[in-house]
């Protein structure tokens, strides 16, 4: 079974630039998550999709972050414009139903904002 | 509000020693789930275990064991006869099931414990 795919693996940008991350979940998984993991901290949920609808984006900084999940499969997360404090690992995860079950994570995208 | 506390930031033990990682949680919900995930250097979080609040039985899986105690709001993880491959960051996490968030149970992670096994 193929795992959660993410790209790019690493990204370095300057502040005020824009950046996009891509995620392909495990086939058949209805729920897709984007987490932000700042160095030394646990992952923090940014947005959760159920199929192609948003069920939770309460911690997404909507003035600069946006995400979409077209056709209920792949997803992209965008930051525009980036700030220094956005430096983190961005993790994508998926699960079958999103109901208190285990999540399958990708390897993440490490973003450095200079 | 939910909260997970992992007070141990870093632990180092010599290979073959036993080690326990502590996890203390806070929630007002009566129905909740506790998880442990492992994050090796590759970065991908790997699921280890899920426990619901109604099942306080301890669980053992090979060298891994988990002790769930509702009386102290703790869900501790023990590795017996540690190996170098156990070196990773370990996260404890909590999600709760309530009427208000039914179908949208958010997972709250602790800050993690970095475990280093010294050969």
Cis peptide before A8 (omega within 30 of 0): yes
Touching check for B76 and chain A: CB below 8 Å?
no
Which chain B residue is nearest to residue A90, measuring alpha carbons? Answer: B43
| Residues of chain B with C-beta less than 8 angstroms from the C-beta of A102 | 35, 47, 50
| Residues of chain B with C-beta less than 8 angstroms from the C-beta of A104 | 47
pLDDT for the residue A2? 81
Q: Which residues of chain B have pLDDT under 70?
A: 97-105
A69-95: per-residue pLDDT in tens?
988 899 999 999 999 999 999 999 999
Alpha-carbon distance of A80 to B2, in angstroms, equals 30
* B74-110 core/surface letters (b: 16 or more CB in 10 A; e: else): bbbbbbeebeeebbbbbbbbbbbbeeeeeebbbbbbb
Query: 3-class SS at B108?
Result: strand
Average pLDDT over residues A96-107: 88
A5-57: per-residue pLDDT in tens?
999 999 999 999 999 999 999 999 999 999 999 998 999 999 999 988 998 89
Closest CB to A56: pick one of B45, B106, B110.
B106
User: Mean of the per-residue pLDDT values for chain A?
Assistant: 94
pLDDT for the residue B90? 98
Cross-chain residue pair A56–B104, CB shorter than 8 Å = yes
């Amino acid at each position: 079974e193929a795992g959660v795919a993410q790209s790019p693996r690493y990204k370095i940008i300057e502040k005020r630039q824009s950046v996009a991350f891509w995620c392909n979940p495990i086939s058949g998984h209805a729920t897709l998550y984007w987490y932000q993991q700042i160095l030394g901290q646990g992952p923090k949920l940014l947005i959760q999709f159920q199929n192609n609808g948003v069920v939770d984006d309460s911690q997404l900084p909507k003035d600069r972050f946006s995400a979409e999940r077209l056709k209920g499969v792949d997803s992209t997360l965008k930051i525009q414009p980036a700030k220094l404090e956005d430096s983190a690992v961005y993790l994508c995860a998926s699960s079958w139903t999103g109901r208190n079950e285990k999540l399958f994570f990708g390897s993440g995208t490490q973003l450095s904002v200079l | 509000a939910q909260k997970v506390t992992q007070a141990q930031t870093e632990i180092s033990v010599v290979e073959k020693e036993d080690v326990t990682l502590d996890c203390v949680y806070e929630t007002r919900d009566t129905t909740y789930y506790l998880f442990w995930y492992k994050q090796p250097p590759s970065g991908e979080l790997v699921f280890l275990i899920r426990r619901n609040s109604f099942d306080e039985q301890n669980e053992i899986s090979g060298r891994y064991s988990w002790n769930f105690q509702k009386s102290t709001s703790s869900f501790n993880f023990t590795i017996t006869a540690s190996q170098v491959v156990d070196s990773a960051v370990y996260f404890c996490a909590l999600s709760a099931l309530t009427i208000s968030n039914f179908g949208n149970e958010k997972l709250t992670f602790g800050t993690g414990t970095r475990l280093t096994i010294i050969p």
